[in-house]
Chain A
Amino acid sequence: MSDVIVIGAGPAGLAGAIASASNGLSVTVLDEFIKPGGRLLGQLHQEPSGEWWNGMKESERLFLEANNLSVDIRCGVSVYNLEKDENLWNVHTNIGTLTARYVLVATGAAEYPVPVPGWTLPGVMSIGAAQVMTNVHRVQVGKKGIIIGANILSFAILNELQLAGINVDRIILPEKNSISGKAGEPEEVLKTLLHAAHLAPSPLMRFGSHFMKNNWLRKMAIHFYPKSGMKVNGTPLQLRIAAVEIVGKEQVEGVKVANTDAAGQVIPGTEVLYEADFVCIAGGLYPLAELAAVAGCPFEYIPELGGHVPCHSETMETPLGGLFVAGNITGIESGKISMAQGTIAGIAIANHAGKVSSTIDQQLQQAVQQVRSVREQATIQFNPEIDKGRSKMKEIWETKFAPLDKEYSHKKIV
């Protein structure tokens, strides 16, 4: 039996395993994917400094470090239930039940689906699926594709597809309806894109972003937005074109689209068909938190964090004794933040386990500081109001849960 079971070998889980193991605990990491790294594996973008964020390399580095600390990493293992029995956690998996005193749930994020009619045809996939096929499996997703949904992830992955020589014909929006919500409203989309404009490969968008913080100018921009789109790295971004239906017999053959007005309403009679052999749907990310829910962890709905998140302290503990969380399960942020959060969780677990070296308090404080500074310097920010979301959770923890936990209150990090 290990001291700690980590569920998820993404940046959060691996960093957590490393931090716990360096403090003398035995750690087992479980992951259902074929290799460790989680969603980090497929990430590939250039920082403003010009340096490449190569997720494959980062994953290998984390794996080697964990391996050197004798962390037992098991891939191809799915966890489907988590329950506490006296002082031990039972982790139910497809290879049987494992037990440990401490569990770190680091299951990451999943993508919101946007059910455009025809979306079940082979050749339609989430934007993340295309990232994994391209950068992890190194298989072409198709010859000519259309991305439905304009957000920071679709821009990042557009770039990755282009790097791999895959032709993305255009980016369009989903048709506005109760499910697509703001993702189908041109002005709302433009607003969120402006927060990512410093990353936009197009100088025009970077330039425009300064001016369009102003509401009136933004409305004008949408009103006069060219039908043919504005080029993002050579691919037209068409904010006034919506996907009405994905068509094809046995697989994708194209997307039926229509022009929209400035509010995103389809203009009848403007339908045309764009040919494509693959379609990527980019609906955004939400925390993948089922396991924390089945374990009985209390949740809060915090939209800035991406949806329902398990309640947790700044040191990544949950109200359930021995259960910790880290990474995107706590809120949607970049891989670097997940890693820094994992480190906090790993040290906090060692602290709870009584592996109290003289430096552990200092380690914990430094780790909490590290998350803050990584967040300040983040180049990829999924939600511009992330700080607000994090503060909300901190306040909820301090009013609802911290008073119950004596351990926490005298070791409180300031």
Chain B
Amino acid sequence: MNRILDHPILGKITDRKTIPFQYDGTTYEAYKHETIAAALLANGVRKLRVHEESGTPRGIYCNIGHCMECRVTVNGQANVRACLTVVENDMVVESGKQLPNIVKRMVEQG
């Protein structure tokens, strides 16, 4: 776990409860009241989605809700910001996927 449990000024974290959640089919542990983005990073997961068209990987950028780079699917709801959404018990999170580009295909097919 990549957590900062002991901080010289901010102090120690000792009493946090953990809860399970799923990300792309794997079960991970989150601290209660933490965001999906923080819980995944604490588990070593940086990649949250791929670009809808190109398929290249993306992760958090701003971490405070401004950039929309961290959108994931939460319990079936698409385009949820992982950096603003708190993990809940047994939450099912899925990464954002590549989508077919219908217009491009139409153009290619003439």
Contact = CB atoms under 8 A, between A and B. Distances in A.
Interface in A4-26: none
Contacts of B64: 33, 39, 128-129, 132
A159 B47 CA distance: 27
B59 A251 contact: yes
Interface residues of B, number: 35
A32 interface: yes
Interface in B64-84: 64-67, 69, 83-84
A141 B84 contact: no
Contacts of B66: 110-111, 288
A128 B86 contact: no
Q: In this complex, which of A56, A121, A125, A250 has the most chain B Cβ atoms within 10 angstroms of its Cβ?
A: A125
A135 B9 CA distance: 10
A139 B38 contact: yes
B47 A250 contact: yes
Given A133-B38, A138-B7, A122 B62 contact: no
B47 A122 contact: yes
Q: Is the interface on chain A under 10, 10 to 19, 20 to 34, or 35 or more residues? A: 35 or more
Contacts of A293: none
Contacts of A133: 38, 41, 63
B102 interface: no
Contact of A122 (B33, B46, B63, B83): B46
A288 B66 CA distance: 9
Given A54-B9, A137-B35, A251-B47, A125 B63 contact: yes
Q: In this complex, which of B35, B63, B65, B83 has the most chain A Cβ atoms within 10 angstroms of its Cβ?
A: B63
B63 A126 contact: yes
Contacts of B42: 139
A164 B63 contact: no
Contact of B61 (A44, A124, A164, A288): A124
A214 to B, nearest CB: 37
A120 interface: yes
A33 B86 CA distance: 10
Contacts of B5: 138
Contacts of A39: 64
A56 B10 contact: yes
Interface string A118-151: 0011111110111011110111110000000000
B56 A120 contact: yes
A137 B34 contact: yes
Nearest to A44: B9
B4 interface: yes
Nearest to A131: B63
Interface string B1-16: 0111101111001000
Given A32-B65, A34-B86, A138-B13, A251 B4 contact: no
A301 interface: no
A34 B84 contact: yes
Contact of A78 (B9, B38, B65, B69): B65
A78 B67 CA distance: 14
A139 B41 contact: yes
19 contacts: A34-B35, A34-B84, A39-B64, A110-B62, A110-B66, A113-B67, A120-B51, A122-B59, A125-B60, A125-B61, A126-B63, A126-B67, A129-B60, A133-B63, A138-B5, A139-B3, A140-B41, A141-B41, A164-B7
Given A120-B51, A128-B62, A129-B62, 13 more contacts: A44-B9, A54-B9, A110-B66, A122-B47, A126-B61, A126-B62, A128-B63, A129-B61, A130-B63, A133-B41, A133-B63, A138-B4, A250-B47
Interface of B: 2-5, 7-10, 13, 33-35, 38, 41-42, 46-48, 51, 56-67, 69, 83-84, 86
